[in-house]
Amino acid sequence: MGRRALPKTDPSVSISGHYVELSDLTPPLDVHEFFGAAGPLEIEIGSGKGLFLLNESARHPERLFLGVEAAIKYARFSAYRLAREERKNVRIVRGDAMRYLSEFVPDRSVEAVHVYFPDPWWKERHRRRRVMQESTIADIARVLVGGGTLQFWSDVAEYFESTCELIGQLPEFSDPQSVATGPAEHEMDYRTHFERRMRLNDHPVYRSRFVVDR
């Protein structure tokens, strides 16, 4: 199933307070200065249309949320949705998430990392492009605080299993924990738009949660 066209946006809504290009940032990033606020930080790798950030920033206004998205149209759309709802605790960084993690995020500074339905890059010769590589997982382990969590979800069994094996090779991470999900309480009560489509069409979703033990 391909991605649908994005809805039109209101040009009067400014996204300047919610959107930044990775190329405009200088490492390492002082996240509290970046947000102009203090609080535990959660990062979403590949924020897509921003549904997770939109929902979670409302549920946890005391937390800071940062989404990293490579596709400019999705990054700008996510920032628009957040700006329209006046969410002060969320920012979108448009750029390469692997570079952001490796160059901009200090050690043990993140409470949670979320990776939902990354591109599986089906062809064997393209699998090196997958975001969940050994180097990325090592950086996630490095940036998480003790007790911090990694959530990884996929609709591709092979990608899910191979990623869980890679995560399991790092001693910092606990054994995978299952993630229970109940029925949606409203039309958009899903982690992402992609999860919504999968569940509404009765397609399987593979979910796991890992905790850093230091």
Supply the pTM of this predicted model: 0.93
- 119 assigned to active site: yes
* Residue 87, pLDDT score: 96
* Residue 141, pLDDT score: 97
* Residue 199, pLDDT score: 87
Instruction: Quote the CA–CA distance of 153 and 116 in Å, as a whole number.
Output: 5
Q: How distant, in Å, are the alpha carbons of 24, 54, 72, 116 from that of 205?
A: 36, 21, 26, 10
Q: Which of 10, 30, 107, 119 is catalytic?
A: 119
Q: How distant, in Å, are the alpha carbons of 17, 97, 115 from that of 127?
A: 35, 16, 17
Spell out, as residue ranges, where the chain has pLDDT lower than 70. Answer: 1-4
Phi, then psi, of 127 in degrees rounded to 5? -65, -20
Using DSSP's 3-state secondary structure scheme, residue 110 falls into strand
Task: For 40-55, give the DSSP string.
Answer: -EEEEES-TT-HHHHH
* Residue 1, pLDDT score: 47
**pLDDT tens-digit map of 91-137:** 999 999 999 999 999 999 999 999 999 988 777 777 788 899 999 99
* Residue 3, pLDDT score: 57
